[in-house]
Amino acid sequence: QVQLVESGGGLVQPGGSLRLSCAASGFTLDDYTIGWFRQVPGKEREGVSCISNSERDTYYADSVRGRFAISRDNAKNTVYLQMNSLKPEDTAVYYCAIDWAGEPPCILFPNEYDHWGQGTQVTVSS
């Protein structure tokens, strides 16, 4: 059974850091494009970052470029999102998702992604 489980969210002060994890089961994560998205109630889901399959292409939304970093640990079948210099506007529920048919370069259109995790809440507040 294909499953994605996000973890690592929480409450952090502005300027702080968090590392989100997206643990996969039922498939080999390295074979596919994985994206991170976020959503605030009442707003559309926003693409944050993606990493393509074995070619390791990555992409970041302008709002997070230079502050966030996406990476894979194939031994753990997990993708990470390291988030630094967090701002209150980064507050959202963060989701990871699989694009089964994705090829490099990866893209951040939610409709291209086929399977989603349950999300993890990130709150940036003093």
**pLDDT, mean over the chain:** 94
What is the C-alpha to C-alpha distance for residues 19 and 103, in angstroms, rounded to an integer? Answer: 26
Best CA proximity match to 46, nearest among 104, 101, 113:
113
pLDDT of residue 55 exceeding 90: no
pLDDT of residue 101 exceeding 80: yes
Taking a C-beta distance cutoff of 8 angstroms, is the pair 115, 1 a contact? no
Whose tokens are 């997070």? That residue is: 64
Give CA 34 to chain center in angstroms: 7
pLDDT at position 118 is 97
